[in-house]
Structure 1
């Protein structure tokens, strides 16, 4: 290697014009001072003919200057135009002329996510996933044996090259805070990357807890504004989906929107997600946001009469549900929360409809991939059952190009002996002996001996201690067994009376959508029939 990490000039000797132009002294490196990371520069322009990516490289850069070769440094979002002719270090005019060619390339800048900060909300209030959320927030709920729901959203960010991530937590947040701090503190997110928890707090200026998502962001703007970013990406922390946020951000920048809302067509959503019903025009402009209740009339959310009249005149109004995913320009967010709506608590019902009313440009990004908002126990159960078969279109845990990250626990492999297991997922560190398991998801560190389980989701946390686990001779079907449950011998859990809804907290279980959930730490005596 040549000094300062540059290639030895001799390796380019066959390219006479380039060898002549190659810097021979430290003064020649002045041409690269526009970037602080010279190692990012791409030297493939020295031999396009022998470079595998020459065709794609040339086409990508065709919109830029033809007189100079260019290289894109995503970390600072600019195009570097590199001269092919020698630079005279003593000629200040030639050097200053070169620096005037350092300019922004819009076609590539729109795809960069370096200037984006993600804000993830670990929901916990009014959760429909009760009783799984009695002692944890939604984002901390186990999924697919080895993961937590919040891992899905954070992995989407990392795979989209968004590495500045804040997680806002408040209700039942102990488990979630612990997981986030342990799982992502040592992950290689680059020099500027981080996953930082912002827990709800009280201050001399405001002695209340967070009143909602918008209130939380407003009270923490002093933290968020420290970063020189252009957009904030607001995300729920408990949804199950895979999305390349680069495409969402590209659509946002291309449209010149102040706010872009990810949305799904109403016909593809089984139930009201409760995040806002969007009326979208033919050019994807959001003309109204409504709070549409299930089985009831539509209720306008801060919608002016002029907006409704304009919408009716134009014939706009294709129906989409908001996914609770928003890209918001930095200046738009500050104006909305500080000046236009200083008392708004929620994005979905107050801030976003208010943005339309004050004349901001709000666009929709239509997403047609798999998306599950985990609105209830039945949805959570069915998602796990679909995951075990790896049959969810566009989503799986085995994608090497978009992996799902979580806390590395360094557990031993599961030990299975004399067992029949079909169409199931088994987590790490399990001991399974002399049993039959079918259509089930078994969480890590589970111990199962001499029993039958069908259509079961078993959460993380059981041990080999006899009081904790599932007793011998037990039969369990279509159930969720939470962490550290103690199930005695010869217990039968199959919802024999077909109960759809009901709470039996005193007995250690509950019904939701016909699914039996055995509570965390519950004790089910021997010979119990549920």
Structure 2
């Protein structure tokens, strides 16, 4: 007989991040496609599945339809059964003070009744926005061994980048495994330590309940990094850092999202989806029913991930193509990520592009590849449901919003321009 789970996992998956631009115009960041067939949230869900953690709640509020459609009943991650399952918890209006989630901590606070109903021994709070492989049983075991009130998974980052993260100073109490957190600062201007929080938290439930109630009563903002962690540190609780040393892909900006996808490529890729055992919902967008990849005579595919349902008659290099992409003869796709059902017309050339679903690039279109543009400003993003007219020229670092009208598709768009 399967025992009632002792751990309840809560995935923070509701937000839209403005830096991801048009990719989150119609979906939360956690539902953004990744790697040719998956979604960003699949990494947290697959980690939970491989860790044997099967009672999961997903907190979502921003344009949740895409995420709800993707998760389904959780069957793709074996999360169906008497003591297992996925619950999607959007904000709801009721007789109390419920409202839109005002932040990550408020999202958990509004669902305390759900958490207390399940009465877990440990609450595992995760972000649905990161690309990594972790066996959560290791941090849970460390959390129990230390009789901790809070344990935070941390990754050491280069000191020049530490100001972008919530960072902790961790003592050497347990060497390579971790230690007590001596200080925690959220995105400090001048950081003095560089163990970055992965937004993977193990909480003692009573401590989390107490600090969430205080945050709701007394604070003006409701975020874990900015409010909850400093409150717990200030109350002299037992707070420990678990040192993680694997790959961690950040997807906050378009450039980071593009780079994390590129980490799937090369002779020694940093991300190995097959080895990581990533699961996804193959029913979503009917991925399961796609025909095998078709490669035309004279076509070439080099250092790329090209999935079922694609037709390649031109050249694809160092790129990721989702199901349904058609690269016509004479076309070239380089250093790019093309979402579902893109069509690249005859003689078109795409270089360093991220293109959302249902985009058609007309014949002889040129996108990206401008010389002398810094790498961080090179990625051109095309919003969904756009048709780029034959012969258009679009520079590097451009942004085209979704559903543009034909008259907005002028002959040339310069480097860094935004069309909305």
Q: TM-score range by the shorter chain?
A: 0.7 to 0.9
Q: Deviations over 1:180-205 (max 9, x none)?
A: 12654783544311111111222232
1:439 counterpart = 2:318: yes
2:277 match: 403
The answer to whether the Cα contact below 8 Å between 1:155 and 1:405 also exists between their aligned partners in 2 is: yes
Out of 341, 350, 355, the position equivalent to 1:476 is 350
Q: Using the TM superposition, give the Cα deviation of residue 494 of structure 1 relative to its aligned residue in structure 2, in angstroms.
A: 2.4
Shift of 1:161: 0.3
What's the counterpart of residue 337 of structure 2? Answer: 457
Alignment pair present for 1:424 and 2:299: no
Q: Which runs of 4+ in 1 moved over 6 A?
A: none
Structure 1's unaligned 5+ residue stretches are 1-36, 38-74, 78-113, 299-316, 463-468, 502-511
Displacement of 1:461 in angstroms is 3.5
Residues matched between the structures, number: 380
After TM superposition, the score normalised by the length of structure 2 is 0.84
Asked if the contact 2:57/2:88 (under 8 Å) is kept, the reply is yes
Instruction: State which of 343, 358, 369 in structure 1 corresponds to 2:235.
Output: 358
Name the stretch that deviates more: 373-382 or 124-133.
Answer: 124-133
* 2:109 equivalent to 1:224: no
2:196 equivalent to 1:321 = yes
Moved more, 474-483 or 281-290: 281-290
Q: CA deviation at 1:165?
A: 0.7
Q: Give, in whole Å, the separation in 1 of the partners of 2:355 and 2:389.
A: 15
Give yes or no for contact 2:11–2:128 (8 Å, CA) kept in 1: yes
Kindly name which structure, 1 or 2, has the bigger radius of gyration based on alpha carbons: 1
Q: Deviations over 1:215-242 (max 9, x none)?
A: 1111111011111310111111010000
8 Å Cα contact 1:181/1:196 also seen in 2: no
Q: What does residue 384 of structure 1 align with?
A: 261
Partner residue, 1:509 = none
Please state how far the C-alpha of 1:384 moved relative to its aligned partner: 1.2
Higher relative CO (Cα under 8 Å, sequence separation at least 6) belongs to 2
CA contact (8 A) 2:168 2:183 kept: yes
Q: CA deviation at 1:499?
A: 5.4
The answer for the alignment partner of 2:36 in structure 1 is 145
Cα pair distance change 1:391/1:343, threshold 3 Å: farther
Counterpart residue number, 1:202:
93
For the pair 1:242 / 2:137, whether they are aligned, the reply is no
The question of 1:519 aligning with 2:393 is answered: no
Tell me by how many angstroms 1:118 deviates: 0.7
CA deviations on 1:334-390 (whole Å, 9 max, x unpaired) are 122225764451111111111121221111001111001212111111111120336
Note if contact 1:413-1:430 (Cα within 8 Å) is conserved in structure 2. Answer: yes
Change (3 A) 1:119 1:188: closer
**Is the contact between residue 146 and residue 428 of structure 1 (CA under 8 Å) also seen in structure 2?**
no
Unmatched 5+ stretches in structure 2: 174-178, 395-420
Structure 1: how far apart are the matches of 2:377 and 2:147? 44
Once the two structures are TM-superposed, the CA of residue 272 in structure 1 deviates from its matched residue by 4.2
Paired residue for 1:369?
246
Return the alpha-carbon distance in structure 2 between the equivalents of residues 472 and 219 of structure 1: 53
Q: Secondary structure at the match of 1:355?
A: helix
Query: Cα distance 1:132–1:324, how it changes in 2: closer, same or farther (>3 A)?
Result: same
Paired residue for 1:211, among 102, 106, 111? 102
Q: Deviation at 1:243?
A: 0.4
> Which of these residues, 151, 154, 174, is aligned with residue 45 of structure 2?
154
Deviations 1:447-474 (A, max 9, x none): 2211111111111244xxxxxx221111
Q: Report the Cα distance in structure 2 between the residues aligned to 1:498 and 1:204, rounded to whole angstroms.
A: 59
Distance between the aligned counterparts of 2:45 and 2:92, measured in 1?
23
Cα gap change, 1:208/1:191 in structure 2, threshold over 3 Å: closer, same or farther?
A: closer
CA contact (8 A) 1:498 1:514 kept: no
* Contact 2:74–2:80 under 8 Å retained in 1: no
Counterpart contact for 2:159–2:193, Cα < 8 Å: no
Are the equivalent residues in 1 in contact too, given 2:162–2:194 (CA < 8 A)? no
Out of 260, 276, 292, the residue aligned to residue 187 of structure 2 is: 292
Asked if the contact 1:183–1:406 (Cα under 8 Å) also holds between the matched residues in 2, the reply is no
Counterparts of 1:521 and 1:231, CA distance in 2? 44
Question: Residues 123-180 of structure 1, C-alpha deviation per residue, up to 9 Å, x if partnerless?
Answer: 4234321121111111111111100000111000000000011110012322112111
SS at match of 1:226: helix
Q: Is the 8 A contact 1:201 1:210 kept in 2?
A: no
> 2: CA distance between counterparts of 1:213 and 1:144?
26
Taking the aligned partners of 1:380 and 1:415, their CA distance within structure 2 comes to: 28
